Structure formats: C-alpha cells, structure tokens
Amino acid sequence: MTPGRIEKTLKTGSAAHPNPENTVPTNLDKLDHRKQMRHHPPKVQTSRNPNAKDVPMTRLQLARMAVFVAFAVQGLTFASLITRLESIATKLDLSAGDVFVVLGITTAVGAVGSVVAGHLATRIGSAATLSLMLGGASLAAVAPAFAPTFVTLLVLNGVYGFFLGGVDASMNMQGTATQDAYARPLMNGFHAMWSAAAVLGAVYATVTIALGVPLGLDMIPIAVIGLAANLATFRFLLPPEAVDAAEHRASSTQRPKVQLPWLPLLLVAVPTFAMWFIDSAASAWGGIYVVDGLGAAAAVAPAIYAAYQLVLLAVRLPGDRLVARFGPERVIRTGGIVGVGALVLIVVAPHWSVAAVGFAVLGGSLAMVPPQSFVAAAHISPDNAEEAIARVNLANYAGYLAAASLIAAVAEVFGERSMFLVPLAISVLIPLMAGRFATRPETVPEPDAVS
C-alpha cells in the first residue's frame, strides 16, 4: 500500500471497513475531540419522566436523601415527645380530660399549620416551607416538658402542633415532587423512614425515662439532631425556590388562580380520614384497651404500640415495589380488607395476646394509605399540588380529633371492651373507596426505571 493510500485509509477507513469510526485517530483528531468535549459535554442522565423538569440524576438523588432526612427528623421528634406525654401529665397532675384537651389543641392547631404551609409553599416554595417548619418543630418540641402549668402546656403544645402540621404538609409536597421527577414510586419508602425513626424515638424515650434523665433535658439532643440535619440537607430539596417563587408571583398577576377540585379531593380525604381515625385509636387507645378491657399487665401497653408500628414499617419498606407492580388501588383495597379482619379480631379477642396480633396486622394493613393519599392529591390538581396535599392532610387531624372524642365517649358509656367498635365500622370505607387512589398507568412505571 502506498503512502497516499495509507493516509487516505487513516482518514476515511479501509474498503472493508468504510465506517469512519474504525479509523485510527491522529493527534490532531484527539485535540479536536477534546475541544468538542469542552464546548459540547455529554449529557448527564436525567429524570425519565417526560412531564418532570430536566433535573440531573445526581441532583435528584440528593433531593431524595434530603426528603428521607426530613421524614426521619419528623418521626423521631414526634415519637420522642408523644411518648413523654404520660410523664408530663403526671408532673402536672392532669386528668384524662385534661390530656384529651391537650391532644385536641395540638391536633386542631396542626390543621391550621397544614393550611398555612399550603399557602406558604405557593409563595416561597415547598422546600423553604419545609425547612422553616422543620426547624420550628425541632425547637418547639423541647418546650412542653418544661411547662409549669396546664395553660402553659396548652400554649406550648399548640406551638408545636402548628409546626407539626406544617411539616406534615410540606414534607409530603417535597416527597411527591421528588417521586414525580424520578418517575417511580418513592412515597412509601419516605413514610417507612418516618416509621423507623418513630420506633427509634420511642426506644430513646423508654431508655431515658428508665435512666431517670430529667424531663425536658432528654428532648434537647433530639432538637439538636433535628436542627443539624435540617441545616445540612435543606439546600438539596426540590425545586429551586427562587425560580419557583418568581413563577408563582408572575402567574398570580397574569392569569386567574387555579381552583382546587374539591369533590375529587374530598373523595380521597374520606378514606384517608378513616385511616387516621383507626391509627389514632390504635396508637392512643390500644394500650388502654388491652390493660383495662382485657386485663393485660401495664407493661403490655407500650408493646402494643411497638407491634403496630413495627409491622407498619415492615410493610412500607417494600411498599414502593408493591405499588409499582400492582398499582395503588389494588394495594390499598387489599390492605383495607385485611384491616377490617384485624379489627374484628381485636373486638372479639378473648385474651390480650390475640388482640396484640390484631393490632400488629392492623398496622400493616394501614401502612400504604397515607403516602398514596398525598400522591393522589397531587395528581388530582397538578397545577396546585402544594395546596391539594395540604387540604388532604387535614384528614389526618380530623381523624385524630374524631377518634379521641368518639372512642372516649363510647368507652364511658359502654366500657373499654367496646372501644374498637367505631373503628371497625369506619374501616370499611378504605376498601370501598380504594378506587380514589388509582393513578394513570404512566404514573406507576417499573420500579427499576431509575437507579
């Protein structure tokens, strides 16, 4: 082969391999390639959801981590405080009626916080709202244990309740936004993190109480952890708030505000209310039921709560894959049917050990409802997802308030054995209305769509 043929082959390829990709690169070729790479770098893998913003996957992974942290801080803080309620009641010599008022105030103000978070998120973004509310909740959780009087306790618990409601709403806004960007189910994993952190919070409370750590001082490490985690991760939350705030301000002056579709949201809120009613009954009254109604020892009461939360966590861990495979409607309907059976077992239990099994199964049956309710709300009103989530989140507080009053009244009139008749009656709403959680097929892709 002549030198001319060799040069031509190096530039254009041989006759047998005419594809220029098979040519041998020269130094000039390599230099030119490096220049092209500087001016035209390769694209970074982004979300595969065609409706989501074009966000680099590394950015999404950081956002997912930040949402996990927010759910963990909320679960840890809430469980650490709620498990100290009995100690606070003993310190202030509160009656059962006083405790009901404390819980009622906390829940009612929490509903206000949820609504405020919805409005605030449309102005400064859900990320800034979550960071603000989470920091407030971490600080406010320390104060109730130091309350010197019942009235002071009501005020301090109300402050915590406000931030609690704001975090509940805004962290689920961030969760659904991150899930939509990933284009695969993530919400059950976020709520599983909440449950795991709540179990840790309950264990921490048990240990510190047993060691005699002064009431109030034991909450300071929880607050420090929450504040540090918030400061370390809030900047990774989605979306970029400066851009979103500008978009919302522009939209408010250029076109009418999007109205929320109240009826579809209400139809999602009803089974969500049923779930939170039953959850409140199991969490607040389950221990009383087995001790006063079935004659269990006092030490059994916290074990009932632990069994309920642990099985709830165990179901949430694979929850995203279950939703990806079977769809939210089918998963929630199946869980709802199991929940009805679990409540029947609790009501007819001849011994506390049988009821304990019922409470454990009940926790697993309800596990999927909260995360899927927020996803359904966001998809009902995509243009106003923040406020839609905040509205459905009100079912949380309505369920807790209704359960606290109704179960107390039933127990007063008919005795402790009748406590769970009302939750049993309400539980049928979940399987009957599971269709309200259905999503379009394209919103539930394969679980390995994004690594």
Q: Are residues 287 and 373 in the same domain?
A: yes
**pLDDT score, position 57:** 61
Q: 129, 175, 382, 126: which is closest to 258 by C-alpha?
A: 382
**pLDDT score, position 24:** 42
**pLDDT score, position 448:** 41
% of the chain beyond a pLDDT of 90:
39
**pLDDT score, position 351:** 95
- What integer is the mean pLDDT of 260-267? 86
> In which domain, by residue range, is 197 found?
60-257
Q: Are residues 281 and 245 in the same domain?
A: no
- What integer is the mean pLDDT of 261-283? 91
Residue 287 domain flag:
yes
Q: Are residues 153 and 289 in the same domain?
A: no
**pLDDT score, position 86:** 72
Residue 416 domain flag:
yes
- Mean confidence (pLDDT) of the chain: 80
Residue 356 domain flag:
yes
In the numeric block, which tokens belong to residue 16?
Answer: 């047998």
**pLDDT score, position 18:** 41
Q: Dihedral, CA atoms, 387, 393, 398, 400, nearest 10 degrees?
A: -160
Report the C-alpha gap between 55 and 178 in whole angstroms: 10
Residue with the bigger pLDDT between 415 and 337: it is 337
Q: Is the pLDDT of residue 228 over 50?
A: yes
List Cα–Cα distances, 331 to 326, 328, 368, 369, 444, in angstroms.
Answer: 7, 5, 8, 9, 13
DSSP 56: B
**Total residues found in the chain within this entry:** 451
pTM for this entry: 0.72
Q: Is the pLDDT of residue 28 over 50?
A: no
**pLDDT score, position 299:** 67
Residue 37's CB is within 10 A of a number of other CB atoms, namely 10
Interval 370-398: pLDDT, tens: 889 988 888 888 778 778 888 888 888 89
Q: Are residues 284 and 237 in the same domain?
A: no
Which range of 28-42, 147-161, 256-270 scores highest in mean pLDDT? It is 147-161
Q: Are residues 367 and 408 in the same domain?
A: yes
The residues that bridge with 46 in the sheet, in sequence order, are 56
Q: Are residues 177 and 285 in the same domain?
A: no
Report the C-alpha gap between 33 and 308 in whole angstroms: 61
Q: 239, 241, 355, 252: which is closest to 294 by C-alpha?
A: 355
| End residue of a domain, out of 224, 257, 290 | 257
- Contact predicate 374/187, CB 8 Å: yes
**pLDDT score, position 43:** 41
Backbone angles phi, psi at 279, to 5 degrees: -60, -45
Q: Are residues 432 and 317 in the same domain?
A: yes
Longest Cα–Cα distance in the chain: 107
Q: Is the pLDDT of residue 40 over 50?
A: no
Q: Are residues 147 and 248 in the same domain?
A: yes
The pLDDT-based confidence of 56 (bands split at 50, 70, 90) is: low
Residue 24 domain flag:
no
Q: Are residues 245 and 136 in the same domain?
A: yes
Query: What value does the CA radius of gyration of the chain take, rounded to a whole number of Å?
Result: 27
Residue 8 domain flag:
no
DSSP 160: H
Q: Are residues 317 and 251 in the same domain?
A: no
**pLDDT score, position 379:** 85
Interval 168-190: pLDDT, tens: 999 999 998 888 888 888 888 89
**pLDDT score, position 160:** 97
Interval 275-318: pLDDT, tens: 999 998 998 788 888 888 898 887 677 778 778 988 999 999 99
DSSP 19: -
Residue 270 domain flag:
yes
Domain count across the chain: 2
In the numeric block, which tokens belong to residue 370?
Answer: 């909260």
Interval 89-105: pLDDT, tens: 888 988 767 877 888 89
Helices (H) and strands (E) in the chain, counts: 20, 0
Residue with the bigger pLDDT between 121 and 10: it is 121
Q: Is the pLDDT of residue 9 over 70?
A: no
The residues that bridge with 56 in the sheet, in sequence order, are 46
Interval 326-351: pLDDT, tens: 999 999 999 999 999 999 999 999 99
The pLDDT-based confidence of 257 (bands split at 50, 70, 90) is: low
Q: Are residues 335 and 363 in the same domain?
A: yes
Q: Is the pLDDT of residue 50 over 50?
A: no
Residue 240 domain flag:
yes
Q: Are residues 288 and 189 in the same domain?
A: no
In the numeric block, which tokens belong to residue 325?
Answer: 């495979």
- Contact predicate 363/310, CB 8 Å: yes
3-state secondary structure at position 225: helix
| End residue of a domain, out of 225, 257, 289 | 257
| End residue of a domain, out of 225, 241, 257 | 257
Q: Find the CATH number of the domain harbouring 98.
A: 1.20.1250.20
Report the C-alpha gap between 127 and 214 in whole angstroms: 35
Q: Is the pLDDT of residue 359 over 60?
A: yes
- What integer is the mean pLDDT of 23-40? 44
Residue 242 domain flag:
yes
